A and B are shown apart, each in its own frame.
Chain A
Amino acid sequence: MMVTPAPLTAPKKLEIEEIAAAVRDRFGPAVLVSRGQGGVVLSVSLFEPTTHPPISKMLFWDMGCSFGGIVVEELKGKWRLSYLFLSAGCGWVEVLVEAPSTVSALPSISSEVHAADWHEREAEDLFGLRFEGHPRLGDFILHDQMWPEGVAPHRKLHRELIDVHQEHFRRRPNSEWRPLLVVQDPGAFAMPVGPIYEGGLGQSVHFLLETVGEDVVRAVPRLFYNFRAVEKIAEEQPVSRVLLLAERFAATSSFAHSLAFCLAVERISSTQVPARAKNLRILLSELERLRHHAGAITGICESTALSVATSQAAIIEERLLRACCQFTGHRYLFGLNTPGGLRRDFSAESCTELLKAIDRAVADLHALEDGLYFTSSFLDRLEDVGIVDPDKARDLNFVGPVGRASACSGDLRRDCPYEGYETYQFEVPREIEGDGYARLRILFQEAYQSARLVQQATHRLEPGQISAPCEPLSGGVALGWAEAPIGPALHWLRLDASGLVERYRVMTASFNNWLGFRVAVEDFAFQDFPIILATFGLSPTECDR
């Protein structure tokens, strides 16, 4: 049953100079290649937006970069679009497109880099920017049955639109609206699931499963029911306030998001975080990952209706939640990060207590794992179900545990280390089958690695400061990143001269992986759907923001 991954040839590690030289060689007069700023190592500015698709194609396909996301900014009188690519081992490369703000259309890159698809749709919905050549724009974040066309709430000039007293708030839904159905075979019908399903215990997301009978032919997730416009309400707010938002928009990975945000602030203010705080941040990040993975495993057991195993996994998870609360004062690790370090210190005794709880969790996870791998009725539901083959995973840029189960072994902790991860010993597990079983194995292996990292971090704690002053803040722009339990969390932050947030952009792993989720569901039977959903372990609320 267990297949050891074939030793695929690792992508060649490129130096940043090599990338710069290759881009210059091919696009010489059309671009300006320079050192990036704020955590970006290389910046490729385009003189002509039309050169963009070939450059992105070269970075993604020829240079082996993974796609991070698009940051759209509306600065004084111009658009600034930063397309982020990560070259493993050397850092973030940005392709920079600037255009006067009178421009309303730019070339689309999503036919070359499919992972950019949703980013472009998002920019179209929120900024009113059209991407020429994109196959389907509109009806994305602002659902068409509720929102009129032409609303671009994230634009600066539409300040009055976001006034809560505007009449568009509390309008009635348009009863004429119908979803777009594609399957036209005789007997075809669409099965709607959500946004309230599983008795409301699932997070709000809607699926339109198109079918002619047994198999799901086309699956369209309709997200953004939990859209709270975090990026917009952060504008013109002080950093201390936005930190609370960063921590609270997705509780499953709140520590990772607050960490990524703090890293961006620290990069802007050039703050050196004390060693003790760095090690504690790693400890807490890994604690969060362990707890999250225990929860994800509970979800998988539950989806297959294996009730004793569900209960056993839920016990592990609740014990970890309690251990988090005992250790930090909060079950979901809220209120710990602050720009410059951590808000509170932990005693050696409490670390010992935490280690005991973690040892117990690991022992219980091992027992659970052994039990699950000997339960054929359980494995039958996971094996060869919801397959994402490595080529598709690469094409759609799958990240996090889901990607690692399909041979996309990207992990920011290793590929672009932060907070000293490069000095830690850990492995990034990788599987190649890309089915539900592979995703389950990844979750278990990562949980063990996280426990190992927590142990290493506690042994490295030397007495010292837990935070450095991170004031006063003046203008600047930076990218902060962290590997959240479900994949990379990227926070782009631009502060104005008075230290207030001018633009805050959050790019999450869920947003990335939801795009490709349909690949796993299509051609599988209806009854597999909840299991595939559980093995993906995606968070709608992290995607919606």
Chain B
Amino acid sequence: MSFWFWRGLQKGVQTTRYPRAYENAAGVTPGRPVATQFSSAHEAALAAQVCPVGAITPQDNSARVNLALCIHCQRCHFGDEPVMEWRSDYEWTRLPDTQQRYEPLPKAYKRSLHIIVVDAGDCGACLHEVKQLNTPFYNMHRLGMFFTATPRAADLLVVVGPVSENMRVPLLKTYEAMPNPKKVLAVGTCAISGGIFGQSFVSAGGVSSILPVDLEIPGDPAPPLAILHGLLVVTGRKAPVGHESASERSS
């Protein structure tokens, strides 16, 4: 029995150095398509046509990407030319389109964040990636972040999935049971826009049609480091995409 202790020591520290240093290990993120310049408007239009969910829009010689719709099908990554440029990063957390100002949780939460997760129609991928934060590679405890079993103790609601009709009421009840101040983080493309399930008689097509969403993390699924970035943004230790300068001023 005691050998487990010895084995644990033998394995050494596996934990990522993120956020102190950028994690560059292979396979931590699938990457994402980014705005790409093409040699002609025709090529840009061709590249945009490949996308089955209309996440790519051509604009003159370039093509822009709306990550809120991207389902990581990789059609624009590995396919017939012209293909989009992909970037292997993971700091994707951003404000919803409806919000302009970014307000993290008060300072007291900086190293003490309690999180409740709700699977609202998720396929299991995003939920699984959230779970990975508890494993040795990501170990969010070292950052003072904890999953909690009850909404009464939670500061942050993480929602995965497009919000299925049967989960709508449990989700609302969870939100209502949380004390203030509270934040809602939509993880994954489904939670942002409904993803491939869209809006239907059993899918609300995203969390924002049910609850006010404070931050969103695109990705299908969002990799663990992207979610970790999101948690750091919630606690004010990182800035959301496009707001880096604002956070530098405040720090």
Q: Which residues of A contact B165 (CB under 8 A)?
A: 146, 169, 227
B25 touches A228 (CB 8 A): no
B116 within 8 A of A: yes
Contact in complex: B136, A311 (CB < 8 Å): yes
- Contact check, B29 vs A325: say whether CB atoms are below 8 A apart: yes
Beta-carbon contacts under 8 Å, A159-215 to B: 161-164, 166, 169-170, 173, 195-204
Known: A248-B220, A329-B77, A334-B73. A199 touches B116 (CB 8 A): yes
Within 8 A of A (CB), among B132-152: 132, 134-137, 147-149
Nearest chain A CB to B105 CB, angstrom units? 19
B181 nearest CB across to chain A (Å): 20
Contact between chains at B74 and A314 (CB < 8 Å): no
Q: Which A residues, 117 to 173, have Cβ-Cβ distances below 8 Å to chain B? A: 143, 146, 153, 161-164, 166, 169-170, 173
Chain A interface size range: 35 or more
Known: A225-B166, A244-B52, A335-B74. Is A539-B124 also a contact (CB below 8 A)? yes
A169, A203, A228, A324: the one contacting B197 at CB < 8 Å is A228
Output the nearest chain A residue to B167 by Cβ-Cβ distance.
Answer: A225
Provide the residues of chain B in CB contact with A544, threshold 8 Å.
164
A196 to B158, alpha carbons, bound, how many Å? 12
A244 to B28, CA, bound (A): 23
Cβ-based interface call for A377 (8 A): yes
Question: CA A49 – CA B237 in complex, angstroms?
Answer: 67
Contact B27 A162 (CB under 8 A): no
Shortest Cβ distance from B157 into A: residue: A200
Query: How would residues 218 to 245 of chain A score, 1 for a CB under 8 Å from any chain B CB and 0 otherwise?
Result: 0000001111111011000000110011
Question: CA separation between A513 and B1, bound complex, in Å?
Answer: 34
B164 adjacent to A225 (CB under 8 Å): yes
Q: A246-258 CB contact bits vs B (8 Å, 1 = yes)? A: 0011111010000
B220-A334 in contact (CB<8A): yes
Q: Is the CB of A226 within 8 A of B200?
A: no
Q: Is A295 an interface residue (CB 8 A)?
A: yes
B132 cross-chain contacts in A, Cβ below 8 A: 314, 318, 321
> From residue A234, how far is it (CB to closest CB) to chain B in Å?
11
In the complex, which residues of chain A have a beta carbon less than 8 angstroms from the beta carbon of B124? Answer: 203, 250-252, 539, 541-542
Binds A, one of B5-13, B38-46, B95-103, B241-249: B5-13
Is B27 a contact of A228 with CB atoms below 8 Å? Answer: no
Decide if A248 touches B195 in the complex (CB within 8 Å): yes
Q: Distance (Å) between the CB of A500 and the closest chain B CB?
A: 15
Please, which residues of chain A bring their CB within 8 A of the CB of B116?
196, 199-200
Question: A29 CA to B221 CA in the complex, in Å?
Answer: 55
Using CB atoms, name the residue of chain A closest to B147: A199
* Contacting residues, chain A, for B118 (C-beta < 8 A): 196, 200, 204
CB of A326 closer than 8 Å to a CB of B: yes
* Contact partners of A195 in chain B: CB under 8 A: 167, 170
Q: How far is the CB of A470 from chain B (nearest CB, A)?
A: 16
Cβ-based interface call for B75 (8 A): yes
Is the beta-carbon distance between A330 and B74 smaller than 8 angstroms? yes
- Judge whether B166 and A331 touch: CB under 8 Å: no
Closest to B150 in A: A199
- B130 contacts the other chain (Cβ, under 8 Å)? yes
A465 to B: closest C-beta gap in Å: 15
Complex formed: what's the CA distance from A146 to B202 in Å? 11
Cα of A245 to Cα of B71 in the assembled complex, Å: 11
Nearest B residue to A151 via CB reads B201
Mask, B50-91, CB within 8 Å of A = 1, is 001100000000000000000111110111000000000000
A222 to chain B, nearest CB (A): 10
A308 touches B4 (CB 8 A): yes
Q: In the complex, which residues of chain B have a beta carbon less than 8 angstroms from the beta carbon of A334? A: 71-74, 220
Min CB distance A383 to B, Å, is 16
Measured in the bound complex, the distance between the Cα atoms of B166 and A67 in whole Å is: 29
Give chain B nearest CB distance to A44 CB in angstroms.
Answer: 34
| A325 adjacent to B128 (CB under 8 Å) | no
CB-CB under 8 A from B115, the residues of chain A are 199
B22 neighbours in A (Cβ, 8 Å):
none
- State whether the Cβ of B131 lies closer than 8 Å to any Cβ in chain A: yes
CB-defined contacts of B121 to chain A, threshold 8 Å:
204, 225-228, 541
A382 within 8 A of B: no
A412 at the interface (CB under 8 A from B): no
Q: Which residue of A lies closest to B5 (CB)?
A: A308
Are A335 and B75 closer than 8 Å at their CB atoms? yes
- Indicate if B37 sits at the interface (CB-CB under 8 A): no
When distances are taken between beta carbons in the complex, the residues of chain A under 8 Å from B135 are: 311, 314-315, 317-318
A163 to B201, alpha carbons, bound, how many Å? 6
Given the complex, which residues of B lie within 8 Å of A251, measured CB to CB?
Answer: 123-125, 128, 221
Contacts of A240 in B (CB 8 A): 52
Flag if B28 contacts A325 (CB, 8 Å).
yes
Contact A203 B29 (CB under 8 A): no
Q: Are B128 and A295 in contact (CB under 8 A)?
A: yes
- Asked if B184 is at the interface (CB within 8 A of a chain A CB), the reply is no
A23 at the interface (CB under 8 A from B): no
Closest to B126 in A: A251
Complex CA distance for A329 and B3, rounded to whole angstroms: 37
B30 to chain A, nearest CB (A): 5
Asked if B27 contacts A166 (CB within 8 A), the reply is no
Interface string of B156-182 (1 = CB under 8 A from A): 001001101111111000100000000
Contacts of A324 in B (CB 8 A): 27
Q: When the two chains form their complex, are residues B4 and A371 in contact, meaning their CB atoms are under 8 A apart?
A: yes
Q: From B27, B117, B125, B147, name the one whose CB has the most chain A CB atoms within 10 angstroms.
A: B27
Inter-subunit contact A306/B27 (CB<8 Å): no
Interface centre among B7, B122, B165 (most CB of A within 10 A): B165
What are the residues of chain B within 8 A of A199 when measuring CB–CB? Answer: 115-117, 147-149
- The answer for the CA separation of A168 and B120 in the assembled complex, in Å, is 19
Question: Is the Cβ of B147 less than 8 Å from the Cβ of A196?
Answer: no
Chain A nearest CB from B127 CB (Å) reads 6
Task: Give bound CA distance, A249 to B122, whole Å.
Answer: 8
Whether the pair A228, B162 counts as a contact (CB closer than 8 A) is: yes
Residue B119 at the chain A interface, CB threshold 8 Å: yes
Residues of B within 8 A of A335 (CB): 72-75, 77-78
**A517 touches B (CB below 8 Å):** no
20 contacts between A and B (CB under 8 A): A143-B166, A153-B201, A153-B202, A196-B116, A200-B117, A200-B174, A204-B170, A225-B166, A228-B200, A228-B202, A233-B200, A251-B124, A251-B221, A314-B137, A315-B11, A331-B129, A331-B221, A335-B72, A343-B75, A541-B124
A residues contacting B by CB (< 8 A) are 143, 146, 153, 161-164, 166, 169-170, 173, 195-204, 224-230, 232-233, 240-241, 244-245, 248-252, 254, 295, 306, 308-309, 311-312, 314-315, 317-318, 321-326, 329-332, 334-336, 343-344, 367, 371, 374-377, 539, 541-542, 544
- Ranked nearest first, the 8 interchain pairs of A and B with the lowest CB-CB distance are A322-B27, A200-B117, A251-B125, A335-B74, A325-B27, A314-B135, A344-B78, A162-B201
